[in-house]
Structure formats: C-alpha cells, structure tokens
Structure 1
C-alpha cells in the first residue's frame, strides 16, 4: 500500500470531508456492508449500463493491487451488479475495495469475505453480460465526480473522493484538522467549565 494510503486509512472520512467543505462526498446512501470496514485506495472506474456487468469482469482482470473498483450503475437498485462470486474474484486478484452506485446480492456470503463493499443495499435480481461499458474513464458515483487514480476513502460514515491533483494538500489539511480535533477533545470533553467556555466562544463568534 502506498504511504499516502496508509496515512488516509488513519483519518476519519468526516475529517477529510471537512477539509473539502463537504463537496466530494458520495451520496450518504452508499454505505459499507459492515460498520467496521475502512478502505483507502486509488479508483479504477467502471461505467456500465443498468443491468449489465460484463465490463466489470474486465475491470477486475485489469485491477492493480490496492485498487478500489468504483462502479457507476446510475443508482439502479433493481439488478445487483455483483454477488459473492464476482466480489470474491476481485478480492483474490488484489482489489482493495468495491464501491457501487447501485446494489449487490449474496450479502451474507459477501460479509464472510471480510472485503470492504460499499453499496446502496442489496437486491435479488442479477445482471446480464452484454458487454457495454467502459473502464478508466471519468464517471459519477453517488453524485460525485470520480476520475481514474483519485483516492477513495470509506468508513462507517460513508465515502469521500480526493482528486488526485489535490491529494497531498488534502492529506496535510486533514492531518492538521485531526490533530486539532484530538486536542479539543482532550481539553474540553468531560470538563464542565471548558464545555461552557467552548459553547460561549462559539455563540459569540
């Protein structure tokens, strides 16, 4: 894993989001199947029509170790883009996580894989394999622009997208904010007088 990914793995998405003014967050409906899932990796983007997942197999075959598969299925929630078999293949070939603006299926078996999957939920119907679609192109996922190579960070709160051109700047800001938040927590929480002073300071700004 790249050093920058290791750094982002230790920063909450809430903190990263604040450093980008909340402008690069995916739709809150896209959530991890398990609250404990945490991921950070580079986007391998997948653009496919509703109900067709053949190009997803191509993306899985071409994914580099640590890539996050980010799939634009237009938010469709009737046909699942993948089940445990396809997601298991992605895991085996080295993908780091799976983010889909749509739904998956076989969620009980997917959870057994202990592989970070972020989706809108689950559905019963499968997708066909027609073959339309593209990989490594600009997409929209959860209402947010994603370009190949952007850093994708996800945790229990949701998913944020960090543009590749800004990744170092955002990392520095996020680390500084996290340090500031930790200092505030230490000084204020549990201290009655400090809490009152903090609230008074906020109200008089």
Structure 2
C-alpha cells in the first residue's frame, strides 16, 4: 500500500559522474543564464561557508522542525550525492548541525542544500564541506517522523528531482536536469567566452555601450533635452 507523505524510495537514477564533473569550473550565474535565468534557487538559500558545491540530488522532505527522515537520507546517500531538503523555510528550528554535517563529509557526500535552518554555525563555516541554508537557529529538531525521501521536492522556489545536478558557489545554487545538461554546458561555455571578450573590452576601453540607447528607443523610452 502506498503511503504518501511517509515513504522512502531506495533507488534513484544518477547521471554519469563525467557529466556532473563537467560543470565543475562553470560559475552558477553562467549556468543559470544558460537556462534562461529560471533555474537558480531563491536568494534565501545562501552559503554557510566558502566550499563550492557540485553533485547529484538526493531529495528529502521533512515535517517542520523534524529531521528523522533527514537522518535516514543521510545514511542512504552515496559519495557525490547532495542532500536537497525541503524543511519549509522554518525559521525557529534547525534540522542539522555540526555532528551530522561532519558525518556527511566523512561518508563522501558532496554537500547539503536545506530550505531551512542549521546550527553549530561556526563549526560549519570552518568546514570544507558545502552547506547552503536559509539561516541559523540554536533550537534543535525533534524526531517524530513524517516526510519523504527521493521524491520531487520544492527547495528555494524550484522543483528538484532525485538525480538532478546541483551546483553552488558564493552566488547561490542552480539545478540542472541531466537530460538538459549537455545543451546547458554548451551554452554556458559560450557565455563564459562572451564574458571574457567583454572583460577584455572593458580593460582596453572599447566596450560598445550603444546597445543601451538602442534598446531604450526600441522599447519606447522618451529622451528629453
């Protein structure tokens, strides 16, 4: 019998590690631009340290203030997985702290993205393990249960599916479907080359800015002397 809202799916399809690794050197902003600026998480999901993020989503949805299913997901995850957790942007309770984060790093996970709070902030800030969250609260969670593992979740304003590619840097987090990844990589590399040309033009003072007035006129802006 199916039990929506309290279930764990043990098997997910992960993309090839080479495909995931191809995103390693690309800024999140370029990946997001390559997806028409529709694939980056809300700014409330912010980095808790300086470790860059790249891996494959293992998705979790928990009850507000409860981390029992988070603990299950943490033990299920494989090296290279990123736990992506819908904790409902809860500001009062944290659902993860230093011990659990250290355990995830020890097991080779690639990082954590939680739409909710952490604690043990100084410890996590010093870690070489990427953590993204909405904030910090010293209040710990309960463990009564309820939730789902490896079903689609909402996190930072996006729908994240198990097996999606998740990347993060100081700007934030972006999510890429493996089916879209080859096209996104091609576009992102083209954008990086374009940005390099612009930066070179800025350096030598030749950056063409005529497009600004042209666009304003095309959109009906009135210029008054």
| Shorter-normalised TM range | over 0.9
Identify the match of residue 204 of structure 1 among 185, 208, 214. Answer: 214
Alignment coverage as a number of residue pairs:
200
Give the corresponding residue for 2:92: 78
With 163-172 and 83-92 compared, the bigger mean Cα shift is at 163-172
1:33 maps onto 2:43 in alignment: no
* 8 Å Cα contact 2:39-2:158 kept in structure 1: yes
Give the corresponding residue for 2:7: none
Q: Deviations over 1:140-198 (max 9, x none)?
A: 00110100001111000011111222111111111111122112212x11223x13xx1
Give the corresponding residue for 1:136: 150
1:2 maps onto 2:17 in alignment: yes
Identify the match of residue 191 of structure 1 among 201, 204, 207. Answer: 204
Q: How does 1:175-186 map to 2 (within 5 A)?
A: 175-186=189-200
Q: Deviations over 1:10-32 (max 9, x none)?
A: 10111111111111111111111
* 8 Å Cα contact 1:60-1:93 kept in structure 2: no
Q: Quote the Cα distance in structure 1 between the aligned partners of 2:61 and 2:42.
A: 17
Q: How does 1:34-53 map to 2 (within 5 A)?
A: 34=49, 36-53=50-67
Q: Quote the Cα distance in structure 1 between the aligned partners of 2:204 and 2:89.
A: 45
Q: CA deviation at 1:112?
A: 2.9
Could you state the TM-score of these two structures normalised by the residue count of structure 2?
0.85
Could you state the TM-score of these two structures normalised by the residue count of structure 1?
0.93
Give the corresponding residue for 2:135: 121
Give the corresponding residue for 2:121: 107
Give the corresponding residue for 2:9: none
Q: Point out where structure 2 has 5 or more consecutive residues left out of the alignment.
A: 1-15, 216-225
Q: Point out where structure 1 has 5 or more consecutive residues left out of the alignment.
A: none
Q: Quote the Cα distance in structure 2 between the aligned partners of 1:161 and 1:154.
A: 9
Name the one with the larger strand percent: 2
Q: Quote the Cα distance in structure 2 between the aligned partners of 1:167 and 1:54.
A: 32
Q: CA deviation at 1:33?
A: 1.2
Q: Quote the Cα distance in structure 2 between the aligned partners of 1:46 and 1:32.
A: 19
- Alignment RMSD (CA, Å): 1.4
1:17 maps onto 2:17 in alignment: no
Q: Secondary structure at the match of 1:190?
A: helix
Q: Which has the larger radius of gyration?
A: 2
